[in-house]
């Protein structure tokens, strides 16, 4: 994959474990607001878990909002993968939907918690296909 992968993971580490299992290399948006945000200079896909209340408020983590509020980082976003917990029903992976709508990029897929081996294989293959398709349309 010639493009990037950026993710946010809370202290639970579910998303971090998923990204590590993908084995594709990625930049992490830090948990602490005082920590510097990663520099981004290539197109990327964002993996973002959801932390919503029962009404869907707070679905997108504040650090992800801070990251995307920078126009140069936002301009390089090509797609989003949402994560969450299916126990939360309608708010499952809601952050992906909200980011996609706001940034006008596609939701590529969703997964639950730290994902399954099937999710890892499916998403790794999907990212390779996605970046291959994007590269061929940019020629």
Cα–Cα dist 115/17, whole Å: 9
Q: What is the pLDDT of residue 3?
A: 67
- Tokens standing for 111? 């997964």
Cα–Cα dist 57/100, whole Å: 16
Pick the CATH number of 4-138 from 3.40.50.360, 3.40.1360.10, 3.40.50.720, 1.25.40.10: 3.40.50.360
Q: What is the pLDDT of residue 134?
A: 55
DSSP type of residue 104: T
**Beta strand segments in the chain, E:** 4-8, 27-29, 44-49, 77-84, 107-112
Cα–Cα dist 92/51, whole Å: 9
SS3 2: coil
Q: What is the pTM of this model?
A: 0.89
Phi then psi for residue 5, to 5 deg, are -135, 130
Q: What is the pLDDT of residue 138?
A: 43
Residue pair 44/78 in contact by the 8 Å Cβ criterion: yes
Per-residue pLDDT tens digits for 40-61: 999 999 999 998 777 777 889 9
Q: How far is CA 80 from the centre of its chain?
A: 5
Residue pair 101/50 in contact by the 8 Å Cβ criterion: no
Could you report the average pLDDT of every consecutive run of 10 residues in the chain (139 residues)?
A: 81 91 93 93 95 79 95 96 87 92 95 90 91 57
- Tokens standing for 56? 């869907």
SS3 23: coil
Q: What is the pLDDT of residue 89?
A: 79
Alpha-carbon torsion (77, 69, 113, 98), positive or negative = negative
Q: What is the pLDDT of residue 92?
A: 87
């Amino acid at each position: 994959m010639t493009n990037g992968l950026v993710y946010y993971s809370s202290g639970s580490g579910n998303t971090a474990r998923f990204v590590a299992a993908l084995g594709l290399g990625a930049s992490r948006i830090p948990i602490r607001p005082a920590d510097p945000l990663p520099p981004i200079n290539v197109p990327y896909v964002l993996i973002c878990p959801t932390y919503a209340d029962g009404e869907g408020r707070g679905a997108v983590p504040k650090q992800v909002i801070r990251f995307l509020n920078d126009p140069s980082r936002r301009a390089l976003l090509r797609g989003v993968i949402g994560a969450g917990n299916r126990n939360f029903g309608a708010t499952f992976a809601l952050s992906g939907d909200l980011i996609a709508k706001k940034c006008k990029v596609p939701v590529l897929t969703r997964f639950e918690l730290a994902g399954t081996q099937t999710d890892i294989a499916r998403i790794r293959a999907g990212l390779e296909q996605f970046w291959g398709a994007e590269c061929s349309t940019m020629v």
